[in-house]
A = this chain, B = another copy of it.
Amino acid sequence: MELRTLKTFVAVATLKSFSAAARELHTVQPAISRQIADLEAELGVSLLWRNTREVRVTAPGEALLEEAKRMLALEVQARKRVALAASGQTGTLRIGYMSSACASFVPSLMRDFAAQHPDVTLVLHEMTAQQQLDAFAREEIDVGLSRPLPMELRETLTALPMYEDELMVVVPEGHRLARRKRLALRELSHEDFVLFQRDQATGLFDHIISACGDAGFSPRITRQPALMQTLLSEVAAGLGLAIAPACIRRLQCDGCHFITLRPALGAVPLELHYPSTPSRPVIEAFVTLVETAIPAIRAQMA
């Protein structure tokens, strides 16, 4: 039993004529006769009662007709679903992101993607860069928005730079440097520092440490909070200064001043990460959308 055969059977049963079915299927009548005869032989049943003047559908024929129609309907549905899935317009997209760096543009990105792919379920997971790495390994997320990841993973994960955050100094209100417009890093050599946990943002942490080294000192670290919001609170409480990406200005931050570094440290990029081996079309569709959205995001974050 093949779909091809079933198509001709449905045509014959519907048109009640072998010849008419042949015309409709762009073939000749003997081909139809053969297919029906073979089908009947295979099932061991007469499906169509026919003489030279009339074609009738037998009871088993009626039964087969129903099921055949369902199967053929499933075929066109299958084609549609495959096409949808292939263009990434179906399925689930799981996104890991850091709210500190992404809160301002992620919502509009989601809105645009949902508009283009209404049948895709979006799942957002707030997580640090390290958590995103683990999640990629466990295949719990499809794309991630974070700072650059360790080099050894560049093979399995592809990185797309989105925008860059300058590093700024965060000082509490009333601090001796709080009124300054700009600072050089070396001026901070004797300060206490509050730095984001190395575990949670290895790249950023190491970047700052090595910059301090270049400036001729090794920072004295008093606190290592896990959340950006905690970091700001601790700075405001006077536990130390922080060096952090400019984006955290957008968080609630009473009692904190943000001061530009001059000469500037290397800016830290925010990247979109996704599996290098092309896995699912939804992912590619999302990457494409992000690529087109990059100019707008850069303008917004400048």
Contact = CB atoms under 8 A, between A and B. Distances in A.
A62 B86 CA distance: 11
A83 interface: yes
Interface in A125-166: none
Interface stretch (A64-72, A100-108, A182-190): A64-72
A168 to B, nearest CB: 42
The A interface is mostly helix, strand or loop, or mixed, namely helix
Interface string A244-265: 0000000000000000000000
Contacts of A70: 74
A63 interface: yes
Interface in A1-58: 1-4, 43-45, 47, 49, 56, 58
Give how many copies assemble into the complex: 2
A60 interface: yes
Interface residues of A, number: 41
A77 interface: yes
A63 B43 contact: no
A83 B45 contact: yes
Given A2-B2, A74-B71, A75-B1, A59 B86 contact: yes
A111 interface: no
A60 B1 contact: no
B64 A81 contact: yes
Nearest to A84: B63
Given A2-B4, A43-B83, A58-B279, 17 more contacts: A1-B78, A44-B86, A45-B86, A49-B278, A49-B279, A58-B280, A58-B281, A59-B86, A59-B282, A60-B82, A62-B85, A63-B78, A63-B84, A63-B90, A67-B77, A71-B74, A71-B78
